[in-house]
Amino acid sequence: MSLGSKYQVFLSFRGPDTRIGFTDVLFHSLNDSGICVFRDDEEVRAGERIDGSLQRAIDNSRIYIPVFSRTYASSQWCLRELVQIVANTSISEGEKEILPIFFDVEPDDVKLKTPLYRDAILNLEHEKKLSTEQADAWRKALMEVDAIKGWEVKKYKGYVDVIKLVVEEVVKKLKIKHRSVTENLVGIDDRVMAVNELLDVNFGGVRLIGIYGMGGIGKTTLAKVVFNQLSFHFGKWCCFLENIQAKSSSTNGLIELQKKLLSEIGHPERARSIDEIDYGTKRIEEALNNKKVLIVLDDVANNKQVEELVGRSSLYPGSRILITTRNKDVFRVRDQTVKS
């Protein structure tokens, strides 16, 4: 992918401090959740200016994650990036956000209340013979970012805990898998709460929940709202298959639905090889046996379609399947239902 492509997240960090370890794990965790991330490293760049392609990567990103570390403010490159990041965010009218991480520094360091960053900028100013205007722009950018609530890594047991929270927050803000629904829906909140309680994403086992009722009463809308609220818990491992009854009636319709499901939960290579339903079901079972997923099967006609789309084997612990249907018999071998 070229630097000018549209990224969703821009990581700004000091390579020697965090590249091996924290930033690398964060980068791959975001990628694994289906997020397009640009990771800059000032050590691999020549020159003193932010070039056009890097500027486009900054401009096109929706979320910026600066990882503040001991020598972040000793890098002109990091500070220049930060100025551009703050400038982009301030003119975005709320469309862009900065999510700061304080790796091995305190917020007061970034706020220039301690010598760490304050002296680093003074040293750059003198050594590089920089203008006061340039140094003041760096100071201003640091002060503005520090006013934003972020994560202090030292407050967590390990990298994994804080990275998990960062990834969840990014997925939630980007609304990566969200389905379009009408705003200001009336009378739906109680039903959404009821379905969420039955799904209970904090429960470690597997749950299959059904929403049934006649056509036109809002089953699909209810499922979309629930899906939008819960999808961030599952990263890229979630899928909403809509209008299954209609789509499966067309030639190879069920196979196309199987391919879509596998592709959306991160297995496009398995999807490409599917040419008949039983084989597709087998590939799906293999995928769902190794990762917790959130899958919505909308407008299912019978439980054969359920088995063809999520398999007959045990699902990975933590998985959630939500089904909408006009046929209550779809659940005759299942024990969880909720009436719409």
Q: Which residues are catalytic?
A: 81
DSSP 8-state symbol, 22? I
- Helix, strand, coil percentages (3-state) for the chain, rounded to 5, are 50, 15, 35
Q: Do β-strands 337-339 and 97-98 pair in parallel, antiparallel, or remain unpaired?
A: unpaired
CA distance 78 to 83: 9
**Separation of alpha carbons 221 and 148, rounded Å:** 35
Q: Are 318 and 192 in contact (CB under 8 A)?
A: no
Contacts of 211 (CB under 8 A, 6+ apart): 195, 219, 222, 223, 322, 323, 324, 325, 338, 339, 340
> What single-letter DSSP state applies at residue 20?
I
With b meaning 16 or more CB within 10 Å and e meaning fewer, what string describes 26-47?
Answer: bbebbeebbbbbbbbebeeeee
